[in-house]
A and B are shown apart, each in its own frame.
Chain A
Amino acid sequence: MMLLPVLAGLGAFFIYPFVYLIGLSFSKSTLANTFQKWVGWDNFDWMFTGTNFTSSIATTVIFAITVSIVQLILGLLIAYLLYTSVKNGRVLRALILLPLMTPPVMVGIAWKLLLSPTGWINSLLSQAGLIEQPISILGDQRFAFPSIMLADTWQWTPFIVILSYAALQSLPEDVFEAAALDGAHARTTFFKLTLPMLAPALLSILLIRMIMAFKTFDLVFVLTQGGPGGQTDVSTYTIWRTALQEFDLGLAGAQTLLFAIVISLVTLPIVFLNNKAEARL
């Protein structure tokens, strides 16, 4: 009885979409006219031969793995600094919370203004004598993808700071007192004591962050629209465009299925291993 709503929710948001997408991917469907006829594997053939979708998936995987690792390292360092060196970090943590709360669309706009040819970063670079002409950072093949990663890192590192800080607080204090009494160096304590004890928590944090990074859409939508030259074409954005700009639901269905399979292959084994490890503790 208590479970009826959640079963309905799972049905509506998880099972029904999958069944529907499998149906779509084997049919010729447009947004206005679904299931015109069954076409077998045509959509899948076209996805592999006629579109750049596999490179879009590669972009997404590279993006998710890079940002989650970079943010984990940065976030852990900041949390460690706050934990060891700041007595009452409440104000600091409140400030650090703000990026996380900012709607991603507004994050995109703020970075778009900063990175635009007339923006502050360009004027900094030219004052430093690094560039002569203002450059379009978001329109440049070399800088567009790192810029998306930068904006994402700005928004999500605070998430890792907060979680790592809590993990640090949950560590037993007596071990550290013992280490201090034994005269252990701060660096030794961090690498030999803190890091190993934090490892399980850090693994969960990394996983959560990676799963979220696979879903990135808003920043690309606002900052680059997948460009320049498909450099920032993450899968969610590609699928969105196929479905709602080109109206080809059959192809979008096939793309979504492939994307879902890749994400599951990358994350699910680690998720369940992580759960098993947690259960044993």
Chain B
Amino acid sequence: MRTTIQQPNSPQNGETFQFKPELLTLSRTWKPKAEEGRLRKMIFVWIALAVIVIFFMLPIAYLFSTSFKSPVDVVDGSFFPNAVEAENWPRAFAQVPLWSFMRNSILAAAFSVFVTLGVAVMATYAMLKLEVGKSFLPDMILASYVAPPIIALIPMFVLMQKLGLLNSIAGMVLIYGLMNVPVAFWLMRSFVLQVPKALDEAAWLDGASYFKTFFRVTLPLLYPAMIATGLICFILSFNELLFAQAMTFDSDSRTLPVGISLFQGERRVNFGQMAAASSAGIIPVYFIALFCQKWLIGGLTQGGVK
């Protein structure tokens, strides 16, 4: 027997066109009285879409554009540089240890994803399928998601200090790994509920243990959900500032957002170099956003609406 879990992509994909006779009648009775109105509507749609795209691209475009401006062009106020100057990029990399910030960010985010998934997937399964903890535990997790992270900042700072994990990537992995568990629970929830219970029961009847059932039967069905959840948690960790800012002190453990926020706080920073450093820091997430779009949108919508 094969059971597949629905892949997180839009329902339109793979849907075949269905012929609907009523559409034919409609099109026959359709009088192009509104030809002009349709044209007007199309123009309106195109203008609206253009405004939307321009609004959402503008700050990023300006950031990239500024990264190619000479110090004279920066104060000029025009959108594009008068003369393209690529110097800012190597200078930014020379001024701040961007490579190590990027390495730290990627390491912290990637390993934290494994911690999060390791904790959250089994727990979600146990809570929803085996109904351990009734509704109390899910409610607790929900409450801990509502609570702002600043609550955990000071206590975790002290805890990390005692564990000797302050100013280390391992510490950030632990923090992010645990911090994203409620998000992962939230995203995994509807996927786990979609796994038919009959499947587990069949495995139990055959004498498989809870653990064996989980690893052999349920887990493979959850891989797509785990990829989507993992990607979202990766981006959340990669972008995080508050904890990283408080708990990392040098370039061996500082993450990109911290490094760049400190760089921009300096008095004598050159706007062009700042823009170049920020642009460089954006590239990894945009890479993920463009190539894993399907997973990201699937994950976000599963967690959000259902």
Give the contact stretch, choosing among A38-46, A107-115, A135-143. Answer: A107-115
B164 within 8 A of A: no
Task: Assess whether B242 is in contact with A240, with CB atoms less than 8 Å apart.
Answer: yes
Interface residues of B in 99-143 (CB under 8 A from A): 118-120, 122-123, 125-127, 130, 132-133, 137, 139-143
**Given A3-B123, A103-B285, A154 and B305 touching (CB < 8 A)?**
no
Select the stretch in B90-98, B195-203, B295-303 that faces chain A.
Answer: B295-303
Interface members, chain B 159-192 (any A CB < 8 Å):
159, 178-179, 181, 185
- B-contacting residues, A52-97, CB 8 Å: 78, 81, 85-86, 90, 92-97
- Residues of chain B with a CB closer than 8 A to A114's CB: 58-59, 62
Chain B residues whose CB sits within 8 angstroms of the CB of A85 once the complex forms? 45, 49
CB B280 to nearest CB in A, in angstroms, measures 10
Main secondary structure of the interface of A (DSSP, over half): helix
A61 to chain B, nearest CB (A): 13
Distance in angstroms between the alpha carbons of A87 and B166 in the assembled complex: 51
Cβ-defined contact, B10 with A86, below 8 A? no
State which of B20, B74, B153, B261 has its C-beta within 8 Å of the C-beta of A105: B261
Q: Complex Cα distance A34/B159, Å?
A: 12
Let me know if B304 and A163 touch, CB within 8 A.
yes
A28 to B73, CA, bound (A): 52
Q: Which residues of B contact A108 (CB under 8 A)?
A: 261
For residue B274, CB closer than 8 A to chain A, the reply is yes
A-contacting residues, B10-35, CB 8 Å:
10-12, 20, 22, 26
Pick the contact of B77: A16, A94, A118, A268 (CB < 8 A): A118
Q: Is the CB of B148 within 8 A of A101?
A: no
Given contacts A17-B152, A243-B154, whether A260 and B241 have CB atoms under 8 Å apart is no
B241 touches A105 (CB 8 A): yes
| Chain B 140-151: CB-based contact to A (< 8 A → 1; otherwise 0) | 111111111111
Contact A118:B76 (CB < 8 A) given known A5-B119, A217-B150: yes
Q: Look across to chain A and name the residue whose beta carbon is closest to the beta carbon of B77.
A: A123
* In the complex, residue of chain B having the shortest beta-carbon distance to the beta carbon of A97: B289
Q: In the complex, what's the smallest C-beta–C-beta distance from B35 to chain A, in angstroms? A: 17
CB of A256 closer than 8 Å to a CB of B: yes
Chain A residues lying within 8 Å of B245, measured Cβ to Cβ, are: 221
Q: Which of B204-228 contact A (CB under 8 A)?
A: 210-211, 214
A113 to B272, CA, bound (A): 10
Known: A113-B63, A119-B77. A166 touches B144 (CB 8 A): no
Known A97-B293, A98-B56: A2·B123 in contact at CB below 8 Å: yes
CA distance in complex: A221, B127 (Å): 38
Known contacts A5-B123, A14-B144; A205/B304 CB under 8 A: yes
* Interface membership of B233, Cβ < 8 A: no
Is the C-beta of B290 less than 8 angstroms from some C-beta in chain A? yes
Closest to B277 in A: A109
A98 near B289 with CB under 8 A, answer yes
Q: Report Cα–Cα, A18/B149, bound state, in Å.
A: 12
Q: A20-B154, A118-B75 are in contact. Are A86 and B148 (CB under 8 A)?
A: no
CB contacts (< 8 Å) of A226 on chain B: these are none
Give the chain B neighbours of A264 by CB distance below 8 A.
146
- In the assembled complex, A236 has its CB within 8 A of some CB on chain B: yes
Residues in B neighbouring A275, C-beta threshold 8 A: 142
Nearest first, the 7 closest Cβ-Cβ pairs linking A and B are A123-B77, A6-B123, A166-B301, A110-B59, A17-B155, A103-B239, A2-B126
Known A-B contacts: A110-B63, A154-B55. Give 9 more (CB < 8 A).
Answer: A17-B155, A90-B293, A109-B63, A109-B260, A120-B77, A165-B301, A166-B305, A204-B304, A205-B304
Which residues of chain A have a CB within 8 Å of any CB of chain B? 1-3, 5-6, 9-10, 12-14, 16-18, 20-21, 24, 34, 78, 81, 85-86, 90, 92-99, 101-114, 116, 118-120, 122-123, 134, 151, 154, 157-159, 162-163, 165-167, 169-170, 177, 180-181, 201, 204-205, 208, 211, 214-215, 217-218, 221-222, 235-236, 239-240, 243-244, 249, 252-253, 256, 259-260, 263-264, 267-268, 271-272, 275
Between A and B, 8 residue pairs with Cβ closer than 8 Å are: A5-B123, A13-B179, A106-B279, A113-B66, A154-B56, A158-B56, A170-B11, A268-B146
